[in-house]
């Protein structure tokens, strides 16, 4: 019996959050919510010209994530044991903090917090932690053309913003799993380790850190 109703798998670009969320959904009969980033027309433009396209990109993600999550939670699926997603709405603010500055970020933050309270918060927030060099390897492996311009510096900034959000919002329950020494995609035993930490351990509000 799963003790959670809503779990989020998060992490930096290339951490494996979609892979893990999908595998858990299949193994545990969970409702799966996947981010629709591939449909965003601003994403390739942003990586080519961040200064010009950062604000419309972040606003479009904010609107689409809110719309998707609201629609998904309005649709009840009585045959699924719980809901699992490969992103949390707060991702919008975390990434915007890395791409926007000054008045643009202040305006964006105001809009974000107006919407943020309207959506359900997860019972457990799982963050997959990988060092930027490993993230770059994973990004290159999946071969998305527009991601070739992503730098380790950008990934480090995103990582720092995740941990800043965790510290600033300690009411949530965060499980931070360091996966630098394992490969849960290729190794079933490594995947089982993660499953055990998610479903068979108790955690308190705030940051709970585990190294596998």
Bridge partners of 176, per DSSP, are: 127, 209
Listed residue (160, 200, 195) closest to 84, CA to CA: 195
Of the candidates 177, 205, 141, the one whose C-alpha atom is nearest the C-alpha of residue 24 is: 177
Among this protein's residues, is 183 annotated catalytic? Answer: no
> 49, 77, 86, 190: which is the annotated catalytic residue?
86
Nearest to 14 by CA among 124, 123, 148, 189: 148
Query: What is the per-residue burial (b if ≥16 Cβ within 10 Å, else e) of 43-70?
Result: bebbbeeeeebbbebbbbbbebbbebbe
Backbone dihedral angles phi then psi of residue 180, each to the nearest 5 degrees:
-65, -25
Distance CA 209, CA 91 (A): 19
Distance CA 130, CA 134 (A): 6
Q: Quick one: three-class SS letters along 127-187?
A: EEECCHHHHHHHHHHHCCHHHHHCCHHHHHHHHHHHHHHHHHCCCCEEEEEECCCCCCCCC
Residue 146: count of CB within 10 angstroms of its CB: 12
Catalytic annotation, residues = 86
């Amino acid at each position: 019996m799963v003790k959670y109703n809503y779990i989020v798998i998060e992490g930096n670009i290339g951490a494996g959050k979609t892979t893990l969320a999908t595998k858990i959904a299949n193994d545990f009969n969970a409702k799966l919510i996947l981010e629709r980033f591939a449909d965003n027309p601003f994403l390739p433009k942003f990586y080519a010209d961040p200064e010009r396209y950062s604000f419309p990109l972040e606003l479009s993600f904010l609107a689409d994530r809110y719309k998707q999550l609201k629609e998904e939670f309005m649709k009840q699926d009585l045959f699924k044991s719980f809901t699992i997603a490969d992103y949390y709405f707060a991702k919008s603010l975390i990434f915007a903090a890395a791409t926007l500055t000054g008045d643009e970020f202040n305006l964006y933050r105001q809009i974000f917090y107006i919407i943020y309270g309207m959506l359900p918060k997860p019972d457990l927030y799982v963050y997959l932690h990988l060092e930027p060099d490993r993230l770059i390897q994973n990004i290159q492996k999946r071969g998305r053309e527009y991601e070739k311009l992503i730098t380790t510096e950008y990934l480090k900034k995103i990582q720092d913003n995740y941990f800043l959000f965790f510290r600033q919002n300690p009411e949530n329950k965060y499980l931070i799993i360091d996966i630098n020494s394992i490969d849960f995609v290729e190794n079933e035993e490594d995947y089982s380790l993660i499953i055990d930490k998610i479903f068979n351990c108790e955690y308190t509000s705030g940051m709970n850190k585990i190294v596998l």
